[in-house]
Structure 1
């Protein structure tokens, strides 16, 4: 059993050894075959790497050689490419500048007179080359050099053409300069001759000028003396003229004042305004030939003068009447006052109003103070009312200070200007100050100017005393005051129309018939036609 077990173990050991040997042999075979294949691949890859290294080294050498040939300083491809692109850009810019310079030179040459179709063709060719160089889609180094060479050829052609033109121009200029020099020599000789003649003329005229200057100095001296004499005579004449003017103004003012005084005292005769046609002393009434068509109206006051007086107005009126009824043919007036009882009013006496005339009212101007009753107070409002009641109008009024304002306008239509030169019957005291003195001075100046203007307009002066006598003003008449009480019955009895009985009516009719018969026997004098004063 034990030997069997050993034999069995040996068999197992031999079998295991054989199995391990086979496994080792197979493994060694596979390992050897893999090693052989790997070694072949290694050798093949080594040869490829060697070839690639040689190719890379050769490419690097060729890149360095090409870079040196091109002239780039960058070793890397991107830097070299950027440098080449920048160089191309600079070339483009310089090429554009060269083209512009060539065009400017050609234009300047043609403007200076250069001729020939070659220049124009070269210019166009250069423009075409520059345009083709800039517009070429696949631009490279060789094409760029080709375009630059063509541009260089065109530029050389332009230079040669310009040189030829410059030479021709130079020859032409030299010939022109020679001709011009000859002409300049001729003109220079003529100018020299003219200058010589001109200097001779200058000397001649200078001599004559000195002679004339001497005469001018002499005449200037005489003229200054004459001017001095004329100035002295003019001064004497001016003094004499001023003296004569002062004397004339003084004499004129004296004459004006004397004339004003004479005008105030002089009686200026006027035309009658009407005549009395009937006098009734019982009724204290008169009838006159003043009617409504002539402008008469009730309450107008008129002055009566004697029919035999030399003219109207005079210093001796007979009486004052006031119109009560104004008709179409005649008017009725009541007798207000009779100055002389032994000279009553008679038929044919003259009717006169200083403020009224037929068909045209008289116009007045009040200049200065108006003191009707000589009490030192201004009464111009009362005088205006009296003038208006008499049928006149006041066109201009110049009151003194503190008596109103200037009103109206002084025109040539004013017939009379009223002044009051009388002194008051009592002293009047006013407070004086700088303001009142200045106002008084301005008033005096204005009064003188207005009196002068009135005289120049032809207006006649009238003294207020004479005007008041013509208007029927009585200085001794009592001043009517304010009524405190009125007897109505007595006033009505006095103012109502009187009724006449039959006997009185018959006597009145007989009296009127008798007057009419007397008037028929003795024709009434025809009154003068009413005319404006």
Structure 2
């Protein structure tokens, strides 16, 4: 602390020296004024004497300032100026130019010392607090070390126990591996024997395959190449009884044929059903055997009667597979103005078909169409103003949009029934005196459904191949 007080005193002396230096400058100036005054008038002598005295006093003060700031009385102004510049460069380097003075430097040093003292007090308090915390941590560390040693001893004991268990399991596993190795060796021997037997069998089979390939090549060379785009028939007429209107075909129980299935009939020399013209239609009445069924002639032409060897084909029935259809609109099969939806579903079912989708009567659709759906059958478009017909119209639009998206072909109800060979039931009525008026109802021409007079307008389209699952 004594050195700091000496430094402070030196700084004060330096400041006083500066003040003395300033006073010396003023004395020099007064001395000049005095010389001028003596030259001008004699009465300036008195003033000069006073000025000399003042100068001596100021010189004495300046000398005192020099001593106060740590210099000798004999030090010149240049010496003081050079020392001041060095002190300012050393101690006042970070002060503004106008604030560079010994007093400002002393005040700054005092303030820094004061702050250092405060920081020292704070640091001592922190050191005390840290010492207390260190002692607490040391106690915790000792407790943790003791706990760690205890856990280590327990882990060593557990390791010994696990090592013993592992050794026992290892010995058991070695014994099991030895048994498995013996079994594996036996299996390898057995596999080698089977491999040798398989090799002999494979050699024999390859020889047979080569023989069969050669036979197949010969058979293919002798076989006519069929038209890959021709649609084959479903069956063939084996016998015809024109008097009773019956025929027998080569389809039966093994073909999953059922009564009431209808077929279109084509000439026996037809190889492509697409390009042929139908001779008539038949309806299965009785299944007689594995590949034999009886059917009635539902329609034919007198100029082209059905004959033995004629081909039969159905767009709905497919051997071993149900063909799907979709319905839209009002299904009126016999033109009596009454919807025959239930009868239509029955006719499709009798021909081993199924209904994939149809209107639900609420503007929606029951079921779902797929890419395998054969036709969308369009009934009469619902044009009424009733709520039910408005729902039917919404169903009509939705089911047609779905059919367009899936690429399903549409067909009118009349066209479908013609392709199916289906005809409405007709009963015999008496003519003449025994005739009844109710047997001849009036026909409303405005509701008549126009018939397609162009027999070549639509022919069967190719059956879609059965999906492979």
TM-score range, shorter chain: 0.3 to 0.5
Superposition TM-score, scaled by structure 2 size? 0.41
Determine which structure has the larger helix proportion and give its number.
1
Superposition TM-score, scaled by structure 1 size? 0.36
